[in-house]
């Protein structure tokens, strides 16, 4: 009973002391600096005021009692309790202050701050999206990495599993059943084609990588710059057949002298044993630098049957303008290793034909990209068009090595590569390179997104090795050349163009800061 009375008197003394302007007022200002704290109750003190101690800036706490909210004569001072349960003096405190900021704007999709869909900015609701499409500059607070990078940017790395259009070539290796006559062995159209004669060369899968890197300008947050590189390792395809005469192997051609189909024997019973090998290779890579400009953007809410509730929805359209480079390098080589089975005419031969092409595109690129977000899922679609110059280069080489006893002779020219077409050729042509793409993504964190996509690239007016082969041959020009029979200068060279495409799926990730 006595303890209760003492406690009530103590609380009353505290209220009267704070309410009394003379107790801590102007009359005793000179003594407050040295006054010790006034002990009121356990773990509750009123610290002495001092000009050398700064006023606290709204420390987090809760009001002790409505009876302790009386203002003193020093100004707008109130008593409230901090995290350590000590009663201190501070600025005026409104218990409702911050509630609107924390959640008042999140009650509907039309709130002033963020909304229930999380598409707003500058609030504590956050956003399930990795970034706000309508604010490409981002709200990530500037640089996040400890290296000098632009404040708001992105980088993506993708694995490419693509296929390209197959290379076309004439029939290069044929076979005939034994006992086909020697003058008909390997001769089309009765012979069977083992390699070539279609457009299936180098049509298998290609593995590559694509890297994109870019950032938004700080002074113009709707304008950015982007760089891109994509490349594939060299794709090779080979064919190899060897025979001692059975089965018959041959290389077909059209005889310019007789005007009939003919062949060069590689393996025939009791005449030749031999081996024929072909190898084709292809390398494709590209790079680009482009500016991006946000044209329009929208934000809203949509109902998700998966989440069974509203989810944020955004869409944006960007325009791109820049420079594009592509390069396609390919080669096709045919090699024969022949050994004579005739005792009256012994010897061996190595015959090579090699065709190489190179296409380089440089041009302007204009494109548009649509981006959509719904909850954690995203879909990006792009359409670009490149128009510029394609530098076409064709290189043809051939040689024959003859060994008779200890004598080795090298001559210029093989079978389909002769002095009539051997050399290097180049020219410039107009190139058109459209590109289409779609990418599906899932936001796994605020900055990281996993992606899976599809891309298609078309390239007009390119040269490929198989198309540069002329199968019309003058046998009299084969090494050793007959100088009296040069009426038909074949094989000959002429640029032969075709269209090229490459397409496939990609898997990767994108990081934004």
Kindly report, residue by residue over 195-242, the tens digit of the pLDDT. Answer: 999 989 999 899 999 999 999 988 888 999 999 999 999 999 999 999
**Does one domain contain both 84 and 175?**
no
**Does one domain contain both 64 and 164?**
no
Q: Is residue 143 domain-resident?
A: no
Contacts of 453 (CB under 8 A, 6+ apart): 158, 380, 437, 438, 439, 440, 505, 506
297 by DSSP, 3-state: which? strand
**Does one domain contain both 375 and 497?**
yes
Residue 80: count of CB within 10 angstroms of its CB: 22
**Which of 34, 66, 90 lies at the terminal end of a domain, its last residue?**
90
**Does one domain contain both 76 and 211?**
no
- The answer to whether 49 and 29 have CB atoms below 8 angstroms apart is no
Q: Is residue 126 domain-resident?
A: no
Ramachandran bin of 120, using left for φ above 0, alpha for ψ from -120 to 50, beta for the remaining angles: beta
Q: Give the model confidence (pLDDT) of 21-58 as tens digits.
A: 444 444 444 343 444 443 434 444 444 444 444 444 44
Mean pLDDT of 151-165: 93
Q: Give the model confidence (pLDDT) of 403-456 as tens digits.
A: 988 899 999 999 999 999 999 999 999 999 999 999 999 999 989 999 999 999
E strands, 341-376, are: 348-374
- The answer to whether 335 and 352 have CB atoms below 8 angstroms apart is yes
pLDDT at 488: 86
Q: β-strands 423-443, 377-404: how paired?
A: antiparallel
Cα gap 125→105, rounded to integer Å = 9
**Which of 60, 90, 120 lies at the terminal end of a domain, its last residue?**
90
Cα gap 357→327, rounded to integer Å = 11
**Does one domain contain both 67 and 166?**
no
Would you say residue 113 has pLDDT above 60?
A: no
Q: Is residue 132 domain-resident?
A: no
Would you say residue 103 has pLDDT above 70?
A: no
Kindly report the length of the chain: 513
Q: State the chain's mean pLDDT as an integer.
A: 80
pLDDT at 333: 98
**Does one domain contain both 65 and 182?**
no
**Which of 90, 115, 135 lies at the terminal end of a domain, its last residue?**
90
pLDDT band at 152 (very low <50, low <70, confident <90, very high): confident
pLDDT band at 336 (very low <50, low <70, confident <90, very high): very high
Q: Is residue 179 domain-resident?
A: yes
**Does one domain contain both 339 and 423?**
yes
Contacts of 43 (CB under 8 A, 6+ apart): 84, 85, 86
- The answer to whether 302 and 374 have CB atoms below 8 angstroms apart is yes
Q: Is residue 71 domain-resident?
A: yes
pLDDT at 137: 62
Range of the domain at 70: 2-90
Q: Give the model confidence (pLDDT) of 305-322 as tens digits.
A: 776 778 889 999 999 999
**Does one domain contain both 86 and 177?**
no
pLDDT at 308: 79
**Does one domain contain both 168 and 281?**
yes
pLDDT at 312: 87
Look up residue 167 and give its DSSP letter: B
Q: Is residue 113 domain-resident?
A: no
Q: Is residue 134 domain-resident?
A: no
Q: Which residue has the higher pLDDT, 386 or 143?
A: 386
* Six token digits for residue 96: 């409702």
* Count of domains forming the chain: 2
Q: β-strands 309-340, 272-304: how paired?
A: antiparallel
- Terminal CA-to-CA distance of the chain, rounded, Å? 66
pLDDT at 138: 62
Q: β-strands 235-243, 153-164: how paired?
A: unpaired
Contacts of 323 (CB under 8 A, 6+ apart): 288, 289, 290, 362, 363, 364, 365
Phi, psi of 31 (to 5 degrees): -100, -10
**Does one domain contain both 235 and 355?**
yes
Q: List 63's β-bridge partners, or say none.
A: none
507 by DSSP, 3-state: which? strand
Q: Is residue 373 domain-resident?
A: yes
**Does one domain contain both 85 and 174?**
no
* Lowest-pLDDT choice from 110-119, 148-157, 158-167, 343-352: 110-119
**Does one domain contain both 223 and 85?**
no
pLDDT at 232: 96
């Amino acid at each position: 009973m006595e303890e209760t009375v003492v406690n009530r008197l103590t609380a009353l003394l505290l209220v009267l002391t704070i309410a009394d302007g003379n107790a801590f007022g102007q009359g005793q200002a000179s003594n407050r600096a040295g006054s010790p704290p006034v002990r009121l109750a356990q773990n509750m003190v009123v610290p002495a005021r001092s000009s050398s101690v700064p006023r606290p800036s709204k420390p987090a706490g809760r009001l002790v009692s409505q009876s302790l909210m009386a203002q003193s004569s020093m100004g707008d001072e109130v008593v409230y309790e901090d995290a350590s349960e000590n009663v201190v003096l501070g600025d005026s405190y409104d218990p409702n202050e911050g509630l609107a900021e924390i959640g008042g704007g999140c009650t509907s999709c039309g709130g002033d701050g963020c909304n229930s869909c999380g598409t707003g900015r500058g609030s504590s609701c956050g956003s399930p999206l990795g970034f706000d499409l309508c604010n490409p500059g981002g709200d990530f607070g500037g640089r996040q990495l400890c290296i000098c990078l632009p404040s708001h940017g992105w980088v993506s790395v993708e694995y490419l599993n693509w296929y390209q259009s197959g290379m076309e070539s004439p029939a290069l290796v044929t076979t005939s059943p034994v006992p086909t006559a020697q003058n008909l062995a390997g001769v089309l159209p009765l012979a069977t084609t083992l390699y070539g004669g279609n457009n299936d060369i180098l049509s298998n899968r290609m593995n590559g990588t694509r890297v994109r890197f870019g950032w938004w300008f700080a002074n113009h947050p709707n304008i950015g710059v982007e760089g891109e590189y994509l490349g594939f390792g060299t794709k090779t395809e080979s064919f190899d057949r060897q025979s001692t005469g059975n089965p018959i192997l041959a290389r077909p051609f059209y005889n310019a002298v007789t005007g009939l189909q003919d062949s060069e024997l590689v393996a025939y019973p009791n005449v030749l044993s031999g081996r024929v090998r072909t190898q084709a290779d292809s390398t494709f890579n590209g790079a680009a630098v482009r500016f991006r400009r946000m044209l329009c953007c929208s934000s809203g809410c949509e109902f998700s049957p998966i989440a069974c509730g509203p989810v944020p929805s955004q869409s944006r359209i960007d325009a791109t303008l820049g420079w594009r480079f592509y390069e396609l390098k390919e080669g096709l080589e045919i090699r024969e290793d022949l050994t004579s089975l005739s005792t009256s005419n012994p010897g061996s031969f190595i015959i090579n034909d090699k065709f190489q092409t190179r296409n380089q595109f440089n041009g302007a690129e204009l494109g548009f990209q649509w981006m959509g977000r719904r909850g954690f899922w995203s879909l990006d679609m792009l359409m670009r068009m490149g128009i510029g110059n394609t530098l076409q280069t064709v290189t043809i080489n051939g040689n024959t090595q003859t060994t008779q006893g200890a004598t080795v002779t090298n001559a210029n020219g093989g079978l389909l590569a002769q002095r009539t077409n051997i050399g290097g050729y180049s020219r410039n042509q107009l190139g058109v390179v459209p590109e289409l793409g779609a990418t599906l993504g899932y936001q796994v964190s605020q900055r990281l997104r996993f992606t899976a996509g599809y891309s298609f690239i078309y390239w007009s007016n390119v040269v490929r090795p198989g198309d540069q082969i002329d199968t019309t041959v003058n046998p009299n020009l084969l090494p050793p050349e007959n100088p009296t029979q040069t009426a038909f200068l074949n094989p000959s060279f002429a640029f032969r163009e075709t269209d090229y495409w490459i397409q496939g799926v990609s898997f990767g990730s994108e990081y934004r800061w």
